[in-house]
Amino acid sequence: MIHQHFKLVDIFTAAENIVLGLNDKGKFDLKKIEKQVAEISAKYGFDIDPSKKIYEMSVSEKQTVEIIKVLYRGANILILDEPTAVLTPQETQKLFAVLRNMKEDGKAIVIITHKLHEVLDISDRVSVLRKGEYIGTLNTAETNEAELTEMMVGKKISLNIDRSEPESDEDRLEIKGLNCNNREGVRILEDINFTVKSGEILGIAGIAGSGQKELLESIAGLQKIHTGDIIYHNPNTGTDDNLRDKTPLQIRSLGVRLSFVPEDRLGMGLVGNMDIIDNMMLRSYRKGKSVFLERKSPKNLADKIINDLEVVTPSATTPVRRLSGGNVQKVLVGREIASSPTVLMAAYPVRGLDINSSYTIYNLLNEQKEKGVAVIFVGEDLDVLIDLCDRILVICGGRVTGIVNGREAKKEEIGLLMTKGYKAGGEADA
C-alpha cells in the first residue's frame, strides 16, 4: 500500500527508509541495499539516488521511495491512494510510464483516484463506489467520463464549467513584496507580488507545501508578515487600507468583507463539537446587542445551506464532526459565501466532495465572481484551474514563478512553472 501521505523518515536516506522495519538479523549492508535499490530502479524506470536524504527530495522522489519500498519486499499487488494528488502533469506521466512497466512485469496495480481523465489514461478496468457501495466494473476502453460520472453520482450531470468574462478592471486586493517566515525563522514566502480584480477568479497552482496555505493566511490576518503590504481597495470608502499586521477582527472593523475557506476545515474553519446552527453564529455573534445569542437568523441560514447545497445531515442541530468530510465542506463554504464578501479566498474547497457537489461549488464561485467579488481559488486539479480561473498564479518554494491567462494556459506550461528552479529541500531558484 502506497499511502497518499508518505510514511518516511526525513533524516534517513532512500535506502535506509526502504529497509526500515525489516526483520533481517545482524547489521545491514548498506552498500548491498543501495545496489539492490539501483537494480529495481533500472528495471522499472525509476530515477532515484539511494543515498539521498528524504528531506532533500522532491515530492515525486519521495513517492518513488514509497513504491520501491514495497517492491523491495517482494510485493506483487500494489495499491496507490491518490498517487497524483501532489504531482505535476510531467511527473504524473512519468509515474504512469513506470506503472506500465510494472504491469508488463506481471504486477497487479490498484489506483484510487478521483481524476477521471487519469482513470481513462492508465487503467484497464475501472470499479465505481458510491457512498460505500459497489456500483459496478467497466472495461476502460468501453466507457467515458460521462458514464463514470453518472455511476459515481447516480444521475447525469454536466461536466462543463461556465466561465463568464470579467466585467470590471478595478483592483480589489494588491499584494506588494510580501515576505513571511515560519516559527523557526525560515523564509516561507519571498517577494510575492500580485493583484486580484473585482469580479475575477485568480487561481493559485503549486505542488503541496509551496506556500499556498501561508499566503492565504497572511491575507486573512492569521500569519505574521515579515515585510511587505496587503492593500485592500475599499469600494465603500474609496480608501486604500493596508491589512498588514491586522488581526481578523481588526480587518473586519475596517469594513473589509473578507471570507476565508481554509484548508483545515475542522481545525480552523468550523468547531466540530458545535452544531451547524452554532457554527453559523461564529461570524456574527459579536454583532449582537444583547447578552443572549439570537438563534433564529443562524437557524434560517443553516436550513438554507442544507437545502441549497444538499447537505446530508439529520438536522441543523447535528454536531459538525458527525458529518462526512464533503458535507462539512459544504457547510463551511455556504457560511462564508452567505456573509456577502468582497474578497473570497478558498483553499481546496472541493477536496473530499463528489463530482456533483464539486460542480455546485464551482458554480457558487462563478456566481460570486458575477457579483463583483474578488475570488482567490487554490486548487489541485489543473484542468479545473484552467476551466474556472481567469488568471492562474503559480507558486514554487514560496516564490511566484509565473502568472498565466486561464483561457490560454496549458497544463504542461503550468506544470513546468510548478517546479521552476526547484532545488533540494523544496526551495525555488528564481
**Neighbour count for residue 105 (Cβ, 10 Å):** 11
In 131-221, where do the E strands start and end?
Answer: 133-139, 171-181, 187-197, 201-205
The amino acid present at 109, given as its one-letter code, is I
Domains and CATH numbers, the chain: 14-123 (3.40.50.300), 171-257+340-428 (3.40.50.300)
SS3 51: coil
pLDDT of residue 426: 38
SS3 311: coil
User: Measured between alpha carbons, how far apart are the two ends of the chain, in Å?
Assistant: 36
Exposed, middle or buried: residue 120 (CB in 10 Å: 0-12, 13-18, 19+)? middle
Return the C-alpha cell found at 36.
539492490
Beta bridge partners of 392: 203, 404
The pTM assigned to this predicted structure is: 0.78
- pLDDT tens per residue, range 208-256: 778 999 999 999 999 999 999 999 999 888 899 999 989 999 998 898 9
For the stretch 322-361, what's the b/e string if a residue is b when 16 or more beta carbons lie within 10 angstroms of its beta carbon? ebeebbbbbbbbbbbbbeebbbbbbbbbbbbbbbebbbbb
Return the C-alpha cell found at 279.
457554527
Residues 78, 110: Cα–Cα separation, whole Å: 6
For the stretch 170-204, what's the b/e string if a residue is b when 16 or more beta carbons lie within 10 angstroms of its beta carbon? ebbbbbbebbbbeeeeebbbbebebbbbbbbbbbb
Residues 135, 128: Cα–Cα separation, whole Å: 5
Q: Which uninterrupted H or E stretch holds 35?
A: helix 30-44
pLDDT of residue 168: 78
| CA distances in angstroms from 24 to 88, 151, 177, listed in the order given | 37, 47, 54
pLDDT of residue 98: 92
- pLDDT tens per residue, range 310-333: 898 999 999 999 988 778 989 999
Q: Identify which of 72, 43, 73, 57 has the alpha carbon closest to the alpha carbon of residue 6.
A: 57
pLDDT of residue 293: 63
Beta bridge partners of 423: 427
- pLDDT tens per residue, range 137-164: 999 999 998 899 899 888 887 777 888 7
pLDDT of residue 23: 73
pLDDT of residue 427: 37
DSSP 426: T
How long is the chain? 430
Number of helices (H), then strands (E), belonging to the chain: the values are 14, 16
SS3 117: helix
Tell me which residues of the chain have a pLDDT lower than 70. Answer: 24-26, 284-294, 352, 421-430
